[in-house]
């Protein structure tokens, strides 16, 4: 029994030894293959580098030969051109000598014709030069006029801004001059009358009562002060004292237009309902200043209105719903 076990152990040991030998052989073979690959790669690399350097050297040599050939060709052409010029010069001298001797009159005539032709060419050049100079001058004048126009527009805008600053300062310092002045007792009476509005069937009578007894006179006095007793045609500006929002309007009779706005805000028949009219009703007509911006004829009202709406940008930051 012990002999059998010993035999089995011997067999196992032999197998293990054989496996180790095979693994060792495999590693050696793998290492040999790796070294072989590296050697072959190095050979291929050196071969490629050698071939590249050889090709590059050949190309450089060919390029140098081409450059030398090109230089030589250029020199040959220079020599040929010089020779050709010398030949042409000799031929011309010979021809001139011959003509001097045999055809002096004809040469003089040709010279005169050439002189006339040259003079005509010079005159044509002078005319073309003058025309071109005129075009340049006209373009320069046009550019200068455009620049002057731009400068003038800038000055106008600057002056308008300065005038607006002065106007705003004057209004701020004396707001009462430019707005409807309602005393405290009138405001109290209006508030009491409005408190019974919901109890009335005919509110239009109440609106007329309030306007005729409390609003009409101070409104007319305001228009008379601001417009200096006139009823001009032009552009006007109305400013919300609380929000600084602005409305720009136009009319051939601004005083009448002021009163129409105020009547409409009081509920009487007047101008059409608009964002500006709703603001008058919301804040109260005595919280707005009224100004004359520009007097102008009926024909210029539209352009002037567009200018001032754009100047104050009241379409985006005011009560105007259109650009005029």
Residue 264 region, left (φ>0) first, then alpha (ψ -120 to 50), else beta? alpha
- The percentage of residues in the chain with a pLDDT greater than 90, rounded to a whole number, is 40
| 276: its two tokens | 């500006």
Higher pLDDT, 302 or 99: 302
Higher pLDDT, 243 or 35: 243
pLDDT in tens, 159-189: 566 566 666 666 766 889 999 999 999 999 9
Residue 179, class by beta-carbon neighbours within 10 Å (0-12 exposed, 13-18 middle, 19+ buried)? buried
Tell whether pTM > 0.85: no
Section 307-312 average pLDDT:
96
Q: How many CB atoms lie within 10 A of CB 292?
A: 18
Predicted pLDDT at 53 = 80
> In degrees, to the nearest 5, what angle opens at C-alpha 248 toward C-alphas 243 and 250?
155
The half-sphere exposure of 310 on its side-chain side, counting CA atoms within 13 A, is 8
Say if CB 216 and CB 288 are below 8 A apart: no
Predicted pLDDT at 166 = 62
pLDDT in tens, 260-282: 999 999 988 766 678 999 999 99
- The CA distance from 97 to 107, in Å, is 11
Binned at pLDDT 50, 70 and 90, residue 118 comes out as low
Section 26-31 average pLDDT:
76
Helix (H) / strand (E) containing 236: strand 234-240
Min mean pLDDT across 69-78, 120-129, 285-294 is at 120-129
- The CA distance from 273 to 270, in Å, is 9
- The CA distance from 156 to 167, in Å, is 16
Identify the CATH class of 176-317: alpha beta
- The CA distance from 315 to 324, in Å, is 9
| 209: its two tokens | 């009562």
For 318, the 3-state DSSP assignment is strand
Section 22-49 average pLDDT:
78
According to DSSP, the residues that pair with 219 across neighbouring strands are: none
Higher pLDDT, 148 or 294: 294
Higher pLDDT, 138 or 125: 138
Q: Of the spans 66-70, 201-205, 242-246, which averages the highest pLDDT?
A: 242-246
- The CA distance from 290 to 236, in Å, is 7
The half-sphere exposure of 126 on its side-chain side, counting CA atoms within 13 A, is 6
Helix (H) / strand (E) containing 248: strand 246-251
Strands across the sheet with 288-295, in order? 246-251, 234-240, 288-295
Say if CB 257 and CB 236 are below 8 A apart: yes
Say if CB 226 and CB 298 are below 8 A apart: no
Higher pLDDT, 53 or 22: 53
Higher pLDDT, 191 or 2: 191
| 229: its two tokens | 């007793």
Section 243-265 average pLDDT:
96
Handedness of CA 166, 172, 173, 174 (dihedral sign): positive
Binned at pLDDT 50, 70 and 90, residue 154 comes out as very low
């Amino acid at each position: 029994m012990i002999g059998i076990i010993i035999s089995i152990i011997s067999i196992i040991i032999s197998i293990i030894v054989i496996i180790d030998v095979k693994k060792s052989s495999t590693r050696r073979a793998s290492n040999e293959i790796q070294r072989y690959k590296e050697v072959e790669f190095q050979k291929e690399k050196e071969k490629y580098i050698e071939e590249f350097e050889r090709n590059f050297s050949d190309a450089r040599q060919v390029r140098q030969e081409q450059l030398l050939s090109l230089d030589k060709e250029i020199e040959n052409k220079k020599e040929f051109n010089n020779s050709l010029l010398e030949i042409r010069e000799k031929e011309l001298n010979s021809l001139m000598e011959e003509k001097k001797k045999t055809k002096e009159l004809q040469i003089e005539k040709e010279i005169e014709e050439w002189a006339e032709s040259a003079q005509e060419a010079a005159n044509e050049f002078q005319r073309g030069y003058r025309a071109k100079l005129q075009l340049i001058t006209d373009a320069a004048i046009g550019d200068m006029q455009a620049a002057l126009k731009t400068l003038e527009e800038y000055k106008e805008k600057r002056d308008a801004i300065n005038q607006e600053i002065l106007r705003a300062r004057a209004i701020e310092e004396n707001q009462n001059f430019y707005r409807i002045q309602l005393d405290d007792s009138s405001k109290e009476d209006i508030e009491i009358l409005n408190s019974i509005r919901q109890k009335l069937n005919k509110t239009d009578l109440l609106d007329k009562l309030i306007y005729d007894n409390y609003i009409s006179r101070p409104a007319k006095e305001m228009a008379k002060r601001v417009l200096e007793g006139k009823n001009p045609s032009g552009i006007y500006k109305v400013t919300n004292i609380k929000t600084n929002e602005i409305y720009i309007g136009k009319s051939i009779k601004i005083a009448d237009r002021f009163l129409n706005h105020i009547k409409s805000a009081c509920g009487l028949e007047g101008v059409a309902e608009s964002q500006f009219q709703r603001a008058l009703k919301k804040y109260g007509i005595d919280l707005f200043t009224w100004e004359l911006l520009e007097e102008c004829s009926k024909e210029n009202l539209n352009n002037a209105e567009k200018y001032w709406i754009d100047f104050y940008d009241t379409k985006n930051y005011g009560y105007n719903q259109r650009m005029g």
